[in-house]
């Protein structure tokens, strides 16, 4: 019993494995943590039967899901209350669910890191629960993980660029055109086949050299290098709430020894001379290009 609702009943016996006693204890502990929170207990008690019936098997199969729900009651209650566990999302839905940019560009980076990590916990809990409960096939799971990663990269990039523009101004070409950062996803991300343990392989490019138009202007290459560094920090830096994505930039021209970002011209020159066969062979699945960050 959880509260007044006969939700999950007695923890089932997990037999046939040497870890069955330990596993049963972990599941029971997670359920007890939910029971101790009034909002979580009420949400689960009011949840559809399919969710109540699936919770033990899902918690047993994924320590990440069990711990995410037990430690973050808001994550759990929002998934239940919003009906997210039993509906399929389109790729564009992830953008609508991502954390909004803070109104003040000077808001500390650590604040937005926390927002991104809490959002990641909710989205990955949803995706994993649907997968483990048998409500999503493999194609949907891979597509959701890829859509989440695409949105996380775009959201982090927008925040990082906004902060840098406030400091240095917009990067512009010699002709005065605002320059975007183009993020190319390679490998599993590029092929739309990202899984739960995948890194994201990225190549960062900008169209033309020039300078930013602020009172403390810098060269475009410096601006976009700082932007790439901020993007990686927002996604990858481990905090008490985890990380968002592991980022691998080694497929860029000249790998670790090359600059973090490259202009279109230098990238076009690099591919036929040094890198096309190596880069495409290393990525395996394909490439995809983000919407340019402006």
In whole angstroms, what is the distance from residue 195 CA to residue 65 CA? 16
Q: In sequence order, what DSSP letters do the residues of 200-245 get, joined into one string?
A: EEEEEEES--EEE-STT--BHHHHHHHHHHHHHHHHH--BTTB-S-
Segment 72-85, tens digit of pLDDT: 999 999 999 989 99
Segment 140-179, tens digit of pLDDT: 999 999 999 999 999 999 999 999 999 999 999 999 999 9
Residue pair 48/76 in contact by the 8 Å Cβ criterion? no
Per-residue confidence (pLDDT) for residue 17, from 0 to 100: 43
Segment 100-152, tens digit of pLDDT: 999 998 899 999 999 999 999 999 999 999 999 999 999 999 999 999 999 99
Segment 191-242, tens digit of pLDDT: 999 999 999 999 999 999 999 999 999 999 999 999 999 999 999 999 999 9
**pTM value?**
0.88
Tell me the average pLDDT across 277-282: 46
């Amino acid at each position: 019993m959880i509260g007044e609702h006969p939700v999950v009943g007695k923890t089932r016996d997990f037999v046939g494995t040497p870890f069955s006693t330990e596993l049963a204890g972990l599941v029971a502990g997670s359920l007890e943590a939910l029971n101790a929170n009034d909002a979580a207990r009420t949400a689960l008690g009011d949840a559809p039967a399919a969710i109540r019936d699936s919770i033990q098997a899902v918690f047993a199969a994924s320590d990440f899901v069990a711990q995410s729900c037990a430690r973050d009651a808001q994550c759990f209650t929002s998934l239940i209350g919003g009906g997210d566990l039993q509906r399929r999302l389109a790729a564009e839905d992830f953008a609508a669910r991502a954390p909004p940019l803070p109104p003040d560009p000077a808001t500390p980076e650590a604040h937005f890191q926390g927002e991104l990590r809490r959002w990641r916990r909710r989205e990955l809990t949803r995706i994993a629960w649907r997968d483990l409960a048998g409500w999503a096939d493999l194609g949907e799971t891979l597509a959701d993980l890829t859509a989440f990663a695409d949105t996380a990269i775009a959201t982090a990039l927008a925040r990082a660029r906004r902060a840098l523009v406030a400091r240095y101004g917009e990067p512009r070409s010699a002709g005065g055109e605002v320059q975007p950062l183009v993020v190319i996803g390679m490998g599993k991300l590029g092929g739309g086949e990202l899984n739960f343990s995948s890194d994201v392989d990225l190549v960062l490019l900008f169209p033309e050299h020039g300078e930013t138009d602020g009172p403390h202007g810098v060269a475009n290459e410096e601006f976009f290098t700082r932007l790439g560094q901020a993007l990686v920090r927002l996604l990858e830096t481990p905090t008490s709430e985890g990380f968002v994505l592991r980022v691998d930039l080694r497929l860029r021209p000249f790998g670790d020894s090359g600059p973090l970002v490259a202009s279109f011209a230098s990238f076009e020159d690099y591919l036929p001379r040094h890198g096309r066969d190596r880069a495409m062979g290393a990525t395996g699945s394909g490439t995809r290009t983000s919407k340019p960050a402006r």
